[in-house]
Amino acid sequence: MKNVFHKEPLARAIEAVVAAGGSEPREARLVAENLVTANLLGHDSHGIGMIPRYVDALLEGGLSVNQHPKVKLDGGALLALDGCQGYGQVIGHEATAMALERARVHGLCIMALGRSHHLGRIGHWGEQAAAHGLISISFVNVISRAIVAPYAGADARFGTNPVCIAIPLPGEPPFLLDMATSAVAQGKLRVAHNKGEKVPLGWVIDDRGNPTDDPRWAVLQPFGAMQTFGVHKGYGLAVACELLGGALTGGGVTDYDNKTRRRVLNGMLSILIDPARLGTQELFGKDTKSFLAWLRASRPAPGFDRVRIAGEPERETRARREREGVPVDAETWNEIRAAAAKLKLQPDRIDALARG
Ligand SMILES: NC(=O)c1ccc[n+]([C@@H]2O[C@H](COP(=O)([O-])OP(=O)(O)OC[C@H]3O[C@@H](n4cnc5c(N)ncnc54)[C@H](O)[C@@H]3O)[C@@H](O)[C@H]2O)c1
């Protein structure tokens, strides 16, 4: 059975759970709005379903409430920040705002953020930069149990290390390429496993490193591993995320000994560029428009309705879910109610808030 909630009451319910964990009202609101936005955009794996994990992380001491980025270096266009294991929804927002200010002054900013708790959809930070007319390029590592295998390796060595490129466009919403470097999100494998479905080869290997179409190897012990997208190419990008987002930011590389901890830390190296400062604005606008028109004029291939650019599918889902509500499966909703109970909040109260 699916529950369907409208975005505002759903956000109020999630806000109540976060506040019950000790967060100040602004933090509770930022976390709730960020997660509900991920659901609205269709990325349920990075939406309110993260709450049970956040609550566990909080209770085990791996996530700290009411933190703000601590400046380690503020050197012109270079900014280095410690995320203090705070909620990524606050740390990411404030770190990006600080980087935006410096990019405005210097034309660009290289922001190294280490030790933030889960930053959620990395596209959220790309959208924040694009809303101010800035380009952003981010490389992110994930410090948690390793779940993705290196190309030619037979076991997991790193996380789903995402990359995001956001480019503001003239006369339309930004190009927003926001993707994990794994072939598919882990959540999709769990769903396929629960439904008893097979998955395409190239997504998962078994515990001996053999390709398999059985998603169980990404879900149950003994674990196999997920694979990177684009064979050795996605693998290369995943390693770049670990080196730039993890080692270079000072946030650390994947935690290879972690088998049980619930906290998820992210390191993020972001490059923000003010395109107006390059002096190419007029040409950029003209060329972008003509290239996108040329791209979109491509004849749809069999089985497709039209060519889209990155960011468009999410905006279409958002328009639909704003209208029709956000579907939340019964298992996810029960887990959220159980998480609320761990914080001494009545699950019935959460139901009532979410239903408005
Ligand atoms: N914080 C973390 O630790 C972490 C880790 C991994 C992933 N993530 C997040 O998970 C989310 C999902 O990642 P994903 O790789 O599953 O995303 P995805 O595969 O759904 O989409 C990847 C990109 O492809 C684009 N796209 C999709 N369909 C398209 C089409 N038909 N035409 C043109 N472009 C299209 C999307 O707009 C998006 O930019 C992202 O927001 C990512 O930042 C976060």
What local confidence, expressed as pLDDT, does residue 260 receive? 75
Assess contact for 333 and 3: CB atoms under 8 A.
yes
For ligand 1, residues with CB inside 6 Å are 43, 46, 118-123, 142, 160, 162, 164, 176-180, 185, 266, 308-311, 313-314
Which of 91, 179, 190 has the most ligand 1 atoms within 8 A of CB, as the residue to mutate?
179
Residues 6 or more apart whose CB falls under 8 angstroms from that of 331 comprise: none
Check pLDDT > 90 for residue 2.
no
Mean pLDDT of the chain: 96
**Average pLDDT for 145-151:** 96
* Percentages (nearest 5) of helix, strand, coil residues in the chain: 45, 20, 35
Distance between Cα 303 and ligand 1 center (Å): 21
Distance between Cα 349 and ligand 1 center (Å): 33
Distance between Cα 210 and ligand 1 center (Å): 26
| 3-state DSSP assignment of residue 4 | strand
pLDDT tens digits for range 267-293: 999 999 999 999 999 999 999 999 999
What local confidence, expressed as pLDDT, does residue 1 receive? 59
Ligand 1 atom closest to Cα of residue 177: 39
**Average pLDDT for 3-17:** 97
Which of 164, 178, 190 has the most ligand 1 atoms within 8 A of CB, as the residue to mutate?
178
173/314 Cα distance (integer angstroms) = 11
Check pLDDT > 90 for residue 195.
no
pLDDT tens digits for range 285-342: 999 999 999 999 999 999 999 999 999 999 999 999 999 999 999 989 999 999 999 9
**Average pLDDT for 39-46:** 94
Least confident of 100-109, 132-141, 161-170, 251-260: 251-260
Distance between Cα 172 and ligand 1 center (Å): 20
What local confidence, expressed as pLDDT, does residue 35 receive? 98
**Average pLDDT for 181-195:** 87
pLDDT tens digits for range 209-259: 999 999 999 999 999 999 999 999 999 999 999 999 999 999 999 987 776
Q: Whose CA is nearest to atom 25 of ligand 1?
A: 310
Assess contact for 93 and 77: CB atoms under 8 A.
no
pLDDT tens digits for range 113-144: 999 999 999 999 999 999 999 999 999 999 99
Ligand 1 atom closest to Cα of residue 179: 15
Residues 6 or more apart whose CB falls under 8 angstroms from that of 256 comprise: 146, 157
Distance between Cα 343 and ligand 1 center (Å): 32
